[in-house]
Amino acid sequence: MSHQSDASAGDLTRTGMALKHDREWDYELDRIVEAVEERDAEKVGLQFPEGLKRRGPAVTDDLRALLPDDVRVLLSGQPCYGACDLDTYMMRRTDVFVHFGHSPMKDSEKIIYVPLFSNVDVEPIMADSLDELDDPEENA
């Protein structure tokens, strides 16, 4: 199967474009647990931007394991494209609302912002790409 047909089928594993380096994220779960305890929260809402939404269930499970059994953790499924796009419906129904993302926002009594940035080292991928790309000087 050619690289082009792999890519057009959505399978990047054999194209050289698959992500080869694991991403690490710090979800600051200890800070969230501390805020829940300080505020005597019974309901915690979590919201992830679209690009990180698939990580939500695992983070929710990890957070539940750290919290008392009587604290409910809710995961927003509403679309989110940044800090200006908060799930206000969930926010009104929770004691603590956690927004994960890369758009900074101020924490408030109810809202906790957890900045998430990838720490992928792009240099190895860029070096591999240079071997595959044509030199623009040669094509001029």
Domain extents in the chain: 41-115
Mean pLDDT of 46-57: 91
- Whether 124 has a pLDDT exceeding 80, the answer reads yes
Which tens digits make up the pLDDT trace of 1-17? Answer: 444 444 444 454 554 44
Instruction: Tell me the pLDDT of the chain averaged across its residues.
Output: 81
The pLDDT of residue 109: 82
Could you tell me the pLDDT band of residue 138, with boundaries at 50, 70 and 90?
confident
Per-position b or e across 75-114, b if 16+ CB within 10 A of its CB: bbeeebeebebbbeebbeebbbbbbbbeeeeeeeebbbbb
Could you tell me the pLDDT band of residue 133, with boundaries at 50, 70 and 90?
confident
**Domain spanning 41-115 has what CATH number?**
3.40.50.11840
The pLDDT of residue 81: 83
The pLDDT of residue 18: 46
Which tens digits make up the pLDDT trace of 79-107? Answer: 888 777 889 999 999 999 999 987 777 66
Sign of CA dihedral 120, 50, 77, 20: negative
